[in-house]
A and B are shown apart, each in its own frame.
Chain A
Amino acid sequence: MPASSPRSGDTDAAMPLIVDNVCKRFGDHVALDGVSLEARQGEFLALLGPSGSGKTTLLRVLAGLERPDQGAVTFAGEDLLAMDARARRIGMVFQHYALFRHMSVAQNIAFGLEVRPARSRPAPSEIRKRVERLLELVQLQGLGGRYPAQLSGGQRQRVALARALAIEPRMLLLDEPFGALDARVRRDLRAWLRQIHDETGLTTIFVTHDQEEAMDLADRVAILRDGRLEQVDTPDRIYDSPASAFVFSFVGEGVQLPGHVADGVLSAAGWRTPAPAGTAAGEVTVSFRGECADLLPAPADGLPARILAVSRRGGSSRVTCEIGGQTFTLEAPKTLMAPGVEARLIPRSLTLHPK
């Protein structure tokens, strides 16, 4: 029974998945601490975070493999929590594929259709047709008779995806789908997964700890830490406008220093500069990306940076320097500066987060 969500002004068709204040603890450990988010129809949403952040737990709550202690989860107005994992029609791809070893590829894919009760089960010929179509979709035509042990890791992952798609799920969940694969296969599969998503138009949520992967693939990224949602936004906005010092440090490289704002002046690591307008006084964390800063030899008005190492690659350099007692590595335009030199790093723009 579709019911309009009290939360957003959009209709349920646009915001089908609504997670509302979900909490889950395992014994003493709090896995999810009041997480709320929404996903649009057809969106490709990444759950990103370090291990222990609760991202996998959240995914399992969505799948029905864990019951939250508190909170609500609805999809297109239907209360998912009232349904068992079996009934939710959610396609899940597990980190280690979880293929049925004693069944062939075709039997694996057909499984979800064959276990349906007699009235909703398609005819065997129909099942076979669907399996064939899915094999084509995942580019494994002709391999229906093989067994999982005879496939490579990448192929197994594709079978797992086809199997999940076979039940025509309302939502696709992927748990670190590329975690068990090597780097090259990972990159190939990434592009291909995005392609499949665009073809099927399914709302897809995937969990990863690899920020490059999340930023590369997702429409929006949800960053979790210690069971709490730090930020949900497009990759660009997360990169450019991190909501917290943690988000900044988790995504992308840059410089992060403790600083102090008083009387409109920001001081950090021995550098004083006018604080951005409207900054409250107090302790702050100063963050900026390497490409948003200029590296000049001393004397100049900027952060004192002592260069420790320079590694030149093509048109840019990776500079390792010591600022305020900490070591940072940044991309900088090709520089002729050598290790040992005292330089100044001048951020053109920076972000401040209160401590």
Chain B
Amino acid sequence: MSRALSPAVAAMSRKPWRKGSVLPGFPLALGLTLTWLSLIFLIPLSALLLRPWELGLSGFWTVVTDPRVLAALRISFGAAALAAAINAGLGLLIAWVLSRYDFPGRRWVDALVDLPFALPTAVAGIALTAIYAPNGPLGAPLAEMGLRVAYTPLGIVLALIFVGLPFVVRTVQPVLEDLDREVEEAARTLGATPRQTAWRVVLPALAPALLTGVGLAFARAAGEYGSVIFIAGNMPLRSEIAPLLIVIKLEQFDYAGAAAVGLAMLALSFTGLLLLNTLQGALARRGRA
């Protein structure tokens, strides 16, 4: 069965990659977007992706498995993971309290949650160091208990908790607020205590959002520099973070080495996020056809 197609339809079927629209400006807007994106991001990124191979595959591997590099990666990602896990609990608590209870000044407290996000990282860095230094308001009592915080990996974790908190709170809060009250009322009429309702009905519904928030906090914390560089001890193999190692290599003009560490960081972040995404997808599939 053949019928002559109208020219417009024929034109569209030649370009199946785009659905026709009467709105103008697509070529210009797409062109601008892609050009800018390439200039500012993709081309520089390609430098990162390609430069390490200048060392060859074995060379790259040698750099990345160097004990100092491994230690730095371990510290950056390990501290990030720990901080993200702690933020899961803290963030959930804060999001819960903010969305379900009303108290004087709630709005202001709610606005404050975004401070770590708005505050420049260097400012956060020196402030946190001052707090946890042996003579600081929190560092002193902790020192009496025998805990040294500043210039140790513990300090790094605490700084990353500061950095990641808003990510968890802000991803969980909207889901909490949108939660259908009827569902909780249903649980109540079926005989569940408030704690049972929280555990069996509300928290499972929050799980996907919580995972997303933790993922975001983790990604942000793993690459964090400014908030951490002051409170970390920066001792190689002990309290040196991966971004610092990149800076050091650059100062030594070891571009390939710096790129290798950068690439390794990207790969690790990517893997971590992929894992979380899969987990979250599995959870979310229960709630979606």
Contacts and interface: CB of A to CB of B under 8 A. Distances in A.
A/B contact in complex, CB under 8 angstroms: yes
Nearest to B193: A86
B187 interface: yes
Contacts of A271: none
Contact of A85 (B188, B205, B286): B188
B1 to A, nearest CB: 35
B180 A65 contact: no
Interface in B167-210: 180, 182-183, 185-193, 196, 200-201, 204-205, 207
B191 A147 contact: no
Nearest to A120: B191
Interface in A63-116: 63-65, 85-92, 94-96, 98-104, 111-112, 115-116
A98 B186 contact: yes
B287 interface: yes
Contacts of B201: 100
A150 to B, nearest CB: 5
- Give the interface size bracket for A toward B: 20 to 34
B18 interface: no
A96 B179 CA distance: 13
Nearest to B190: A112
Chain B interface main SS type: helix
Contacts of A280: none
A121 to B, nearest CB: 10
A94 B288 CA distance: 21
Given A96-B180, A101-B287, A102-B286, A115 B185 contact: no
A167 interface: yes
A160 B190 CA distance: 11
A149 interface: yes
B210 to A, nearest CB: 13
Given A100-B201, A102-B204, A65 B185 contact: yes
Contact of A167 (B182, B190, B283): B190
Given A94-B182, A98-B182, A116 B191 contact: yes
B180 A98 contact: yes
B196 to A, nearest CB: 5
A24 interface: no
Interface of A: 63-65, 85-92, 94-96, 98-104, 111-112, 115-116, 147, 149-150, 160, 163-164, 166-167
What 3 pairs across the A-B complex have the smallest Cβ distances?
Answer: A112-B190, A98-B182, A98-B186
27 contacts: A86-B193, A88-B189, A90-B189, A92-B189, A94-B185, A94-B186, A96-B180, A98-B185, A99-B183, A100-B186, A101-B183, A101-B287, A102-B207, A102-B283, A104-B286, A111-B187, A111-B200, A115-B190, A115-B191, A147-B286, A149-B287, A149-B288, A150-B289, A163-B186, A164-B189, A166-B190, A167-B190
